[in-house]
Amino acid sequence: MKTIIFPGTFDPITRGHQDLIERASRLFDHVLVTVAFNDSKQPIFTLDERIELVQQTTAHLSNVSVKSFSGLLVDLVASENAIGVLRGLRNGSDLDYELPMAQLNQQMLASCETVFLSPAPEFAAISSTLVRQISSLGGDVSQFVDAAVLQALQTKSASH
Ligand code: PNS
């Protein structure tokens, strides 16, 4: 069984992430989405909230599962017996950020492949950072995130 790990902060999951997960679910036997604690990024959603939103937005995909993760990605790849890591590439900046990580992960674990997928063009400019910013300023992000995420963003704004 070929498992690919899709790691990220998912603060929150966007339609771009969902597009990549759907693409990967057609290419691999199992897609394991791992939500990083990532305290350094000070996420607006708790780990449990981020996991729940990934679960809700991928529930229709039977070969996708979700769990939390902390520590080194290569250790997770080894313990899950996965092929490696899936990352999205939207532009050249993503490549500059991703390539060193892919190379170092491969140096640490030779069998660790990084598979890059591009989202559909309409999702290429979406990032969790911009979604959070637009939403916090009262903008409409319904094109960029699932209805469950939209609701969660509105609830978060109302409580601040
Ligand atoms: O969605 P993000 O925030 O870009 O995800 C970043 C993430 C969690 C994938 C990255 O921070 C990561 O790989 N963390 C694990 C720590 C690790 O293995 N670091 C070495 C990479 S060479």
pLDDT single digits (tens) 7-41: 999 999 999 999 999 999 999 999 999 999 977 88
Please tell me the predicted confidence (pLDDT) of residue 34: 98
Model confidence band, residue 158 (pLDDT cutoffs 50, 70, 90): confident
| Structure confidence by residue, pLDDT tens digits, 71-124 | 999 999 999 999 999 999 999 999 999 999 999 999 999 999 999 999 999 999
Q: What does the DSSP assignment read for 66-79?
A: EEEE-S-HHHHHHH
Residue 160 has pLDDT above 80, yes or no: no
- Of 2, 41, 67, 157, the active-site residue reads 41
160 catalytic? Reply is: no
Question: Ligand 1, closest atom to CA 7?
Answer: 9
159 band by pLDDT with thresholds 50, 70 and 90: confident
Residue 41 CA, closest ligand 1 atom number: 3
- Residue 153 per-residue DSSP state: H
Ligand 1: residues with CB < 6 A are 7-9, 36, 38, 72-73, 101, 104-105
Q: How far apart are CA 35 and CA 46, in angstroms?
A: 11
**Ligand 1 atom at minimum distance from 10 CA:** 1
Q: By 3-state DSSP, what share of the chain in percent is helix, strand and coil, each rounded to 5?
A: 50, 20, 35
Task: Report the separation in Å between the CA atom of 64 and the middle of ligand 1, taken as the mean of its atom positions.
Answer: 20
**Residue 38 buriedness (CB in 10 A; 0-12 / 13-18 / 19+):** middle
The candidate with the shortest Cα–Cα distance to 130, out of 139, 121, 119, is: 139
